[in-house]
Structure 1
Amino acid sequence: MLVYIVRRFAGMMVVMLLVAMVVFVIARVVPGDPAAVMLGSSATPEDIAALRGRLGLDEPLLTQFLLYLGQIIRFDLGESIFLNRPVAQALAERSELTALLTMMSVGIAMLIGLPIGILSAAKRGGLIDQTAVGLAMLAASIPSFWIGLTLIKYLAVDHAWFPVAGYGPPEADLMERMRHLVLPAIALGIPNSALILRFTRTSMLDVMSNDYVRTARAKGLPPLVVVLKHALRNAMIPILTVIGLTTAVMIAGAIVTETVFGLPGVGNLIVSAVLRRDYPVIQGALLVVSAIYVLINLTVDLLYAVVDPRVRY
C-alpha cells in the first residue's frame, strides 16, 4: 500500500507540473494587458510600461514560467495584483464557503441519486424504474443556474423561506451561514444527482444478475437484505468512483452557482480575477482546484480496498 501511495504521489507531481504549464500559458494568451486593466483607460503608455516592469510582465515567457515554478516549489502562490495580499490567504478566506457548499451539494446529490438508483434497479422495467430514468435525464439537462434562479423566485422572493443571496453578516453563526447555502446546494446538487442515479442503477443491475445474489434470494432472504447487503456492497466501487468525480465537478461548478447567488466564495474570486486579468489569483486558484481533484481521485482509489477487501494495491 505504501509503495502504491508513493507512486501515486509521484504521478500527482507530474500532473501538477503539466497543470502549471497549461495554466501559465492560458493566462498569458488571454487577450488584454493586466497592467492596462489595472490603471484604466486614462493611463499613459509610460505608466503601463512601469507597472509591467514592477510585475515582471516584461520578462520573457520562459523566465516568467521559471520564476513561477520556483514559487510553486516554495508553496508560494504569489500575491494578488488587485487584492494586494498573498493568493493563498485570499483563497483560504473564501474556502470555507466553497467547501460547505460542495459538501452540502454532494450530500443532496447522494440523498437523491443513491436511494432512487437502488430502487430503480430493484424495480427494473417497472413504472418506478422508467420514471426514475426519465427524471434523471430531465435533471441532467437542466442547467444549475436556471434551477437557482427558479428557487430564488419561488422560495426566496415569493415566500421568503430562504435568503435571496449572500452569506450572512460577519457575526452570523454556522447554522445561519448554512441556511444561506441551502438553495445554492439544491441548485448544484440536483443536476449532479442524475449521474449518481444512473451509475447506481447500472452498477446495481450488473451485480444483481450474479449467481450469489440469486443464491441469496433462493435461500429466502428478505429482498431488502439481498439488495442492501449482498448487491449494494459489491456495487459500491463504480458508485464511489462517480461520487468522487461528482465532488470534483461540483467544486468547479460552484463558480456559476456562487455568481448566481452572490456568494463570496472561491468561484466568485476566480471570476473577478479573470475579469481583472489577475494572473496570480487565476493560476493559484486553478492549481489548488487541480490538486483537490487529484487528491479526491487518490482518496477514492484508497476507499476501494475498504469497500471491497479483495482489492489489493
Structure 2
Amino acid sequence: MTRVVVRRLLEMALVMAIVVTIVFVIVRIAPGDPAAMMLGPDATAKDVADLRARLGLDQSLPAQYGRYVWGLLHGDLGQSIFLARPVTQALWERAEPTFFLTLFSILIACGIALPVGILSAYRHGSVFDQITSTVAMFAASIPSFWLGLVLMQLFAVKLGWFQPSGYGGPGASLGERLNHLVLPACALGIVSSALIARFTRASMLDVLGDDYVRTARAKGMSEIRVVLLHAFKNALIPILTVIGLTAALLISGAIVTETVFGLPGVGSLVVSAVLRRDYPVIQGTLLVVAGLYVLINFIIDMLYLVVDPRVRY
C-alpha cells in the first residue's frame, strides 16, 4: 500500500510540474506584450516598462521560469495588478462561496443520483427504469445556467422562498449566506446528477448478475442487504471515479453559475480578471484548480484501496 501511495504522490508532482510549465509558457507565447495587454492601450511606455520589471518579464526565459517556480514553492502565486494584493489572498477571500457551492452541489447530485441509479438497475427494464433513463439523458443536456435562471424565476421571483442573487451583506450570518446558495447548488446538482445516475445504473447492472450476488440470495439474505452490502459495494469504484470527476468539474465549472447568481466566488473573480487582463490572477486560479483536480484524483485513488483491497496488490 505504501508503494501505491508513493507512486501516486510522484505522479501528482509530475502532473503539477507539467501544469506549471504550461501556464508559464502560455503567457509568454501569447501575441503581443503581456504587460502592455494588462495595462491597456492608454498606458505609457514607462508604465509598460515598470510593469515588465515588476513581473520579471525583462529577464531571460530561464531566469523567469526559475523565479516563477521559486515563488510557487514558497506559496507565492503572484501579485494582482488591479486588486493590488497577492493572488493567494484574493483567492482565499473568494473561496468560501465556491467551496460551499461545490459541496452542496455534489451532495445534491449524489443524493439524487445514487438512489435513482441503484433502483433503476434493480428494476432494469421496468417503466421506472425507462423514465429515469430518459430524464437523466434530458437533464444531462440542460445548461446549468439556464436551469439556474428557471429556478430563480420560479422559487425566488414568484414564490419568494429563496434569495435570487448575492451572498448576503458583510455581517450576514452563515444561515443567510447558505440560503443564497440553495438555488445555484440545485442547478448544478441536478445537472450533475444525470451523469452519476447513469454510471451508477451501469455499474450496478454489471454486478447484480454475478455469482456472489446469487449466492447471497440463495443464503436467504434480504434484498436490501444483497443490493447495498454486496452489489453496491463492489460497484463503487467506477461510481467513485465519476463522483470525483464531477466534483472537480464543479469547482472549475461554477464560473457561469456564480456569475448568473451574483456570487462573489472564485468564478466571478476569474471573469473580472479575464476582462481586466489580470494575468497573475488567471494564472494563479488555473494552478489552484489544477491542483484541486490532482488532489481529488489522489483522494479517489486512496478510496479505491479502502473499497477494494485487491487494488493494493
Contact 2:38–2:279 under 8 Å retained in 1? no
Alpha-carbon spacing, 1:302–1:43, altered in 2? closer, same or farther (3 Å): closer
What's the counterpart of residue 136 of structure 2?
A: 136
CA distance in 2, matches of 1:276, 1:218: 67
Percent identity, aligned pairs only, is 63
Shift of residue 59, structure 1, vs aligned partner: 3.5
- Aligned-residue Cα RMSD (Å) equals 1.8
**Is 1:77 matched with 2:77?**
yes
Output aligned runs, 1:23-172, within 5 Å.
23-30=23-30, 33=33, 35-36=35-36, 39-172=39-172
Aligned residue for 1:310, secondary structure, equals helix
What's the counterpart of residue 242 of structure 2?
A: 242
Contact 2:4–2:312 under 8 Å retained in 1? no
**Is 1:220 matched with 2:220?**
yes
CA distance in 2, matches of 1:121, 1:88: 45
Shift of residue 270, structure 1, vs aligned partner: 1.4
Q: Which stretches in structure 1 are left out of the alignment for 5+ residues?
A: none
The residue type paired with residue 302 of structure 1 is: M
Shift of residue 31, structure 1, vs aligned partner: 5.1
Output aligned runs, 1:159-238, within 5 Å.
159-238=159-238
Contact 2:113–2:197 under 8 Å retained in 1? yes
CA distance in 2, matches of 1:249, 1:156: 26
CA distance in 2, matches of 1:155, 1:246: 26
What's the counterpart of residue 295 of structure 1?
A: 295
CA distance in 1, matches of 2:16, 2:82: 26
Contact 1:147–1:187 under 8 Å retained in 2? yes
What's the counterpart of residue 278 of structure 1?
A: 278
CA distance in 1, matches of 2:182, 2:32: 37
Shift of residue 30, structure 1, vs aligned partner: 4.4
Alignment deviations for residues 102-151 of structure 1 (CA, whole Å, 9 cap, x no partner): 10000000011100000100000111111111111111101111111111
* Number of aligned residues: 313
**Is 1:263 matched with 2:263?**
yes
Shift of residue 54, structure 1, vs aligned partner: 3.5
Q: Which stretches in structure 2 are left out of the alignment for 5+ residues?
A: none
Shift of residue 66, structure 1, vs aligned partner: 2.4
Alpha-carbon spacing, 1:47–1:295, altered in 2? closer, same or farther (3 Å): closer
CA distance in 2, matches of 1:205, 1:121: 6
CA distance in 1, matches of 2:149, 2:202: 32
Alpha-carbon spacing, 1:232–1:160, altered in 2? closer, same or farther (3 Å): same
Contact 1:32–1:277 under 8 Å retained in 2? no
Alignment deviations for residues 232-281 of structure 1 (CA, whole Å, 9 cap, x no partner): 11111111111111111110111111111111111111122222221221
Alpha-carbon spacing, 1:122–1:79, altered in 2? closer, same or farther (3 Å): same
Contact 2:38–2:278 under 8 Å retained in 1? no
Alignment deviations for residues 59-80 of structure 1 (CA, whole Å, 9 cap, x no partner): 4444322221121122211111
* Mean CA deviation greater in 23-32 or 176-185: 23-32
TM-score, normalised to structure 1, is 0.94
Shift of residue 4, structure 1, vs aligned partner: 2.3
Contact 1:234–1:308 under 8 Å retained in 2? yes
What's the counterpart of residue 10 of structure 2?
A: 10
Contact 1:148–1:257 under 8 Å retained in 2? yes
CA distance in 2, matches of 1:13, 1:151: 41
* Mean CA deviation greater in 64-73 or 232-241: 64-73
Contact 2:255–2:268 under 8 Å retained in 1? yes
Alpha-carbon spacing, 1:243–1:9, altered in 2? closer, same or farther (3 Å): same
Alpha-carbon spacing, 1:128–1:301, altered in 2? closer, same or farther (3 Å): same
Aligned residue for 2:254, secondary structure, equals helix
Aligned residue for 1:82, secondary structure, equals coil
The residue type paired with residue 101 of structure 1 is: L
CA distance in 2, matches of 1:146, 1:28: 36
